[in-house]
């Protein structure tokens, strides 16, 4: 579920207009944008005015101008797209209803209509839209209450509040108290982001303890997969004692829910996880899957290629993917999933696609997952593997040989650097004899017998040359970094 589904129709259109301007800046005319958004140009003009009115308050400046018929978006460095989306979300009726339902044990249509100055028909329609959006999380708002497994309700609100509110402090007193109880189990301190995550989860937990929801089918289904884990057993004792100090009712599943959270959301950090992994029961399903998946990936890259720190990081990332897909249903995304998917596809080779497919099938088999989890697994495996690929890339060396161009050679050299220096993992330098180069850019004619790693530039370089050079570099990268095993 993309978080923008919570926006009202008008605000969703405004955000989409901003996205179009952001990703196609200098290319959109009013006419083209109106056609894309299925709006008349007059209506588009009104939307653009509203966007300016709303977004100018978010930072130093926010402007939309029309130059040479093309619309241009510009805003100050204290504004970004996330901040814009958050602004609209905080004002949306759907988000306000979700917060109100969370804060009250039970509400009525009449109460919601009075609170938000909306008709009962509007509230009813919005609740119906919300419940449709909440289907992937297996929860709903029914008879004025949140209905569903408690673990799923907490997970949804934790994700929602952490994405939108971000007002949780790493210095929260309740977090410090919990840390004092947990610290003997962990040798390393938690990061500030981890402490903020803990603050958010405990905020959601404290509110939900007042409701005392006893639906825990999800935990019943998965608890046997980690019930023998020593960390789970210790957390059950710690959380029971911790909450008894602050609330009159503590359910038997508090330790299990906190355990699911702790191992899924980058709380422990690599060092704490490495220490925990030494004592983790290797026969629990997620531990076995972590080990098997890591070995598949290490084998793919070759056992001598990944460093110890690479393997350590890989194990930690895999553990969170597998814990999250086991414990929780549904995803709340801030980014356009299709755009992220397309980005990963650009960095995929057929061999890498095959590896990801094998990892997904293994996870489905070992954790008993359905096809609904495939998209989550694909995106997360792609995330860690693309990052790993890029970090392992061997840098290319490109020599620029312009010795034959005494009149324009110097300016041509810097022109080439300007056009090509943004390409990652490539080092450009003036050509030197007896140095090895993956590619040589030159205007000097060479005998046919010379190796085919030369690109011959046009008289004074052309856009065609630049595109061809980039294609050559991409091809050499794929050959050189063919995930040598």
CA distance 85 to 98: 17
In a domain, 270, yes or no: no
Single out the residue of 66, 76, 73 nearest to residue 21, CA to CA.
Answer: 73
pLDDT tens-place values along the chain, 485 residues long: 888 899 999 999 999 999 999 887 667 888 899 999 999 989 999 999 999 999 999 999 999 988 767 898 999 989 999 899 999 998 899 999 999 999 998 999 999 999 999 999 999 999 999 999 999 999 999 999 999 999 999 999 999 999 887 678 888 888 888 888 887 778 788 999 999 999 999 999 988 988 877 788 888 888 888 888 888 988 888 887 887 776 766 778 888 999 999 999 999 999 999 988 888 877 788 999 999 999 999 999 887 678 888 999 999 999 999 999 999 999 998 888 888 888 888 888 888 999 999 999 999 999 999 899 999 999 999 999 988 887 777 788 999 888 776 566 678 888 888 888 888 888 899 888 888 899 998 877 665 445 668 888 876 678 888 999 999 988 888 777 664 44
Structurally, how many domains does the chain consist of?
4
Q: How far is CA 250 from CA 237, 243, 435, 473, in A?
A: 12, 7, 71, 61
Looking at residue 484, what is its pLDDT? 45
User: Which of 212, 228, 262 is at the close of a domain?
Assistant: 262
CATH number at residue 53: 1.10.10
Please check whether residues 52 and 162 belong to one and the same domain.
Answer: no
Length of the chain as a residue count:
485
Same domain, 343 and 409: no
Q: To 5 degrees, how large is the angle CA 42–CA 46–CA 48?
A: 110
Beta strands 439-442 and 454-456, pairing class: parallel
Are 183 and 211 in a shared domain?
Answer: yes
- Is the pTM higher than 0.85? The answer reads no
Selection from 87, 114, 88, 86 nearest residue 100 by Cα = 114
Q: Would you state the structure tokens that stand for residue 89, as one six-digit string?
A: 């979300």
Long-range contacts of 176-184 (CB under 8 A, 24+ apart): 177/242, 178/202, 178/238, 178/242, 181/238, 181/241, 181/242, 182/238
Whether residue 114 is found in the same domain as residue 215: yes
Q: What domain range is 431 assigned to?
A: 396-480
Residue 141, classed as helix, strand or coil, is strand
How far apart CA 404 and CA 107 sit, in angstroms, is: 81
**pLDDT of amino acid 266:** 93
Alpha-carbon distances, residue 453 vs 423, 436, 445 (angstroms): 18, 11, 13
Query: Apex CA 113: angle with CA 107 and CA 119, to 5°?
Result: 140
SS percent in the chain: helix, strand, coil, step 5: 60, 10, 30
Q: Is residue 69 part of a domain?
A: yes
In a domain, residue 324? The reply is yes
Do 255 and 350 have their domain in common? no
SS3 letters across 398-446: EEEECCCCCCCHHHHHHHHHHHHCCCCCEEEEECCCCCCCCEEEECCCC
Same domain, yes or no: 244 and 130 = yes
**What value does the CA radius of gyration of the chain take, rounded to a whole number of Å?**
28
Where a domain ends, among 37, 65, 88?
Answer: 88
Q: Considering the domain boundaries, does residue 234 fall inside one? A: yes
């Amino acid at each position: 579920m993309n978080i923008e589904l919570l926006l009202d129709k008008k605000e969703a259109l405004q955000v989409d207009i901003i996205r179009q301007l952001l990703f196609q800046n200098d290319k959109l005319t009013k006419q083209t944008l109106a056609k894309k958004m299925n709006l008349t140009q007059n209506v588009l003009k009104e939307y653009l005015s509203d966007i300016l009115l709303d977004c100018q308050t978010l930072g130093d400046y926010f402007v939309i101008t029309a130059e040479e018929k093309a619309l241009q978006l510009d805003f100050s460095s204290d504004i970004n797209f996330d901040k814009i989306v958050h602004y609209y979300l905080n004002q949306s009726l759907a988000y306000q209803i979700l917060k109100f339902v969370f804060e009250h044990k039970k509400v009525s249509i009449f109460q919601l209509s009075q609170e938000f100055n909306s008709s009962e028909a509007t509230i009813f329609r919005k609740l119906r839209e919300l419940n449709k959006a909440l289907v992937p999380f297996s929860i709903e708002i029914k008879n004025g209450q949140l209905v569903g497994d408690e673990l799923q309700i907490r997970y949804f609100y934790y994700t929602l509040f952490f994405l939108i509110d971000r007002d949780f402090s790493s210095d929260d007193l309740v977090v410090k108290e919990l840390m004092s109880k947990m610290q003997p189990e962990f040798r390393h301190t938690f990061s500030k982001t981890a402490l903020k995550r803990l603050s958010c989860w405990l905020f959601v937990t404290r509110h939900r303890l007042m409701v005392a929801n006893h639906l825990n089918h999800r935990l019943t289904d998965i608890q046997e997969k980690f019930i023998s884990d020593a960390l789970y057993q210790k957390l059950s004792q710690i959380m029971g004692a911790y909450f008894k100090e602050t609330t009159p009712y503590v359910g038997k599943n508090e330790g299990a829910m906190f355990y699911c959270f702790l191992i899924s959301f980058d709380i422990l950090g690599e060092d704490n996880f490495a220490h925990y992994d030494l004592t983790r029961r290797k026969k629990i399903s997620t531990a076995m899957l972590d080990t098997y998946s890591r070995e598949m990936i290490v084998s793919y890259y070759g056992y001598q290629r990944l460093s110890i720190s690479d393997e350590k990081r890989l194990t930690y990332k895999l553990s969170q993917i597998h814990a999250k897909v086991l414990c929780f249903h549904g995803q709340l995304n801030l980014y356009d999933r299709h755009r992220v998917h397309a980005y990963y596809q650009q960095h995929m080779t057929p061999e890498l696609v095959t590896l990801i497919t094998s990892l997904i099938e293994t996870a489905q088999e070992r954790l008993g997952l359905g096809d609904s989890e495939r998209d989550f697994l694909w995106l997360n495996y792609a995330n860690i593997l693309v990052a790993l690929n890029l970090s392992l890339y061997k840098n290319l060396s490109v020599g620029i040989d312009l010795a034959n161009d005494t009149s324009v050679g110097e300016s041509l050299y810097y022109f080439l650097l300007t056009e090509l220096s943004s390409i990652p993992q490539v080092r450009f330098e003036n050509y030197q004899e007896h140095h090895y180069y993956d590619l040589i850019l030159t205007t000097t004619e060479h005998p046919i017998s010379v190796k085919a790693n030369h690109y011959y530039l046009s008289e004074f370089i052309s856009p065609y040359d630049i595109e061809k050079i980039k294609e050559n570099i991409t091809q050499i990268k794929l050959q050189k970094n063919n995930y040598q095993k």
